[in-house]
Amino acid sequence: MSSIAAFSADQILDQMDQAAKDFRFLMLDNGYYYPVDQRLHAFGDQERWAVVIEALGYNPRAGDLLDVLEKFGNCVGSPGADNEDFIGRLDNYKDLWQLEQQDRAWTDAGRLVVRGTTITLPPSLQAGTEPWDVLRAVVPENRLLFLASEQELRERAPLDLPRLLLLDEWNHPDIVKGDLPSRSETFRMIANVLESGDIRRYAPSLPPNTHWSNWPAGGAL
């Protein structure tokens, strides 16, 4: 990809900033979701750019683990997540929800079913473990079952658009406190990668903070 693109890093950051102001940019301490895991994909060529940020989080009101895919770019439609971008991952969430309604723990079921695959809960999960803690224990060893498939990603980013970056962790701005992507080292670097096509432009100096343990307010509402 040539360094001459039809868009600028500033245009990328402007779109992300506006999405953040409109509450359509990832908040890892969203009060309605217990954060579990995340991933970021950046795609681009000379004419087009797209970023898909996925956040796995347990929503107590839905009783399900949702993979929320937020999309940004000049070829993806409206920035942020629309209704179809909230993807439930637990095939047996209704059974698990019924257990919760009976004041029983997920550990009573002993399993999760994800995309037709049964995951047996480990014995280390004691009776009464909260659903989000069950997921935080199980997801790391089964990430690819829970995170977006290539088909799901390419329903949001064009199939022929090259992938430039895939990040499993990064330093994320605190959107709730008013931090904007344009002030974030991470997203400034991502924007520079997309503008230039040079993945060496992503060279973070700040430690990643996307692990759920860094966002204790998530799910608190």
The answer to whether position 181 is within a domain reads yes
| pLDDT at site 3 | 56
Q: Decide: 9 and 187 in contact? Cβ < 8 Å.
A: no
Counted residue by residue, the chain has a size of 221
The answer to whether position 190 is within a domain reads yes
How far is the C-alpha of 124 from the C-alpha of 190, rounded, in Å? 39
Number of compact structural domains in the chain: 1
The answer to whether position 121 is within a domain reads no
| pLDDT at site 2 | 45
The answer to whether position 155 is within a domain reads yes
The answer to whether position 156 is within a domain reads yes
| pLDDT at site 221 | 84
| pLDDT at site 63 | 92
Half-sphere exposure for 128 (CA within 13 Å, toward CB): 0
Instruction: Tell which residue, 83, 105, 4, 79, has the closest CA to residue 45.
Output: 4
Task: Spell out the per-residue pLDDT of the chain, length 221, in tens.
Answer: 445 789 999 999 999 999 999 999 999 999 999 999 999 999 999 999 999 999 999 999 999 999 999 999 999 999 999 999 999 999 999 999 999 889 889 999 999 999 999 999 998 898 889 999 999 999 999 999 999 999 999 999 999 999 999 999 999 999 999 999 999 999 999 999 999 999 999 999 999 999 999 999 999 88
In Å, what is the CA distance from 141 to each residue of 37, 101, 120? Answer: 12, 28, 12
The answer to whether position 176 is within a domain reads yes
Range of the domain at 206: 9-88+149-214
| pLDDT at site 139 | 97
The answer to whether position 198 is within a domain reads yes
67: which strand partners?
Answer: 56, 87
The answer to whether position 4 is within a domain reads no
Per-residue pLDDT tens over the stretch 42-77? 999 999 999 999 999 999 999 999 999 999 999 999
